[in-house]
Structure 1
Amino acid sequence: MPQQTLSTDHPASAATGACPECDGVIAFARAPLAGQVVTCVGCGAELEVTSRDPLRLEAAPEVEEDWGE
């Protein structure tokens, strides 16, 4: 799934969540998908959507060397 950088000031967002690193607001233009990876524009943290209802964001796992083998 492609990574997205999301604006923190999207006025017509479908959903919003909080960055667990900096508490910045993450606004989604469309309903987020479980497993979606986004980047917080406030601190640059890579975050994964781990729950849609309620919306929960957690630090995305780092890709290991052996992934995809």
Structure 2
Amino acid sequence: MTMTTLQACPECEDEVRISQSVRLNEIIDCAGCRSELEIVALAPTVLALAPEVEEDWGE
């Protein structure tokens, strides 16, 4: 059984389940608001809104 922790979504404050096996910079989804969240720190785990993917027009 995989251990999980709960964190508040920075967008909607809903609880987000985070597996103990997450990696730094991993992207997870909030079930409440469907925002993409990035793991920006471990121990303690910190969530932030994932940056929007932008077109790379110059390359």
User: Kindly, what percent of the aligned residue pairs are identical?
Assistant: 38
Which of 2, 10, 16 is matched with 2:6 structurally? Answer: 16
Consecutive unaligned residues in structure 1, runs of 5 or more: 1-11
- Give 1:54's aligned residue: 44
With normalisation by structure 1, the TM-score equals: 0.69
Any runs of at least 4 consecutive aligned residues in structure 1 with deviations exceeding 4 A, and if so which? none
With normalisation by structure 2, the TM-score equals: 0.78
Q: CA RMSD in A?
A: 1.7
Q: Point out the structure with max Rg over C-alpha.
A: 2
Q: Which fold has the larger relative contact order, with Cα–Cα distance below 8 Å and residues 6 or more apart in sequence?
A: 1
Q: Is the 8 A contact 1:36 1:48 kept in 2?
A: yes
Which of 34, 40, 45 is matched with 2:24 structurally? Answer: 34
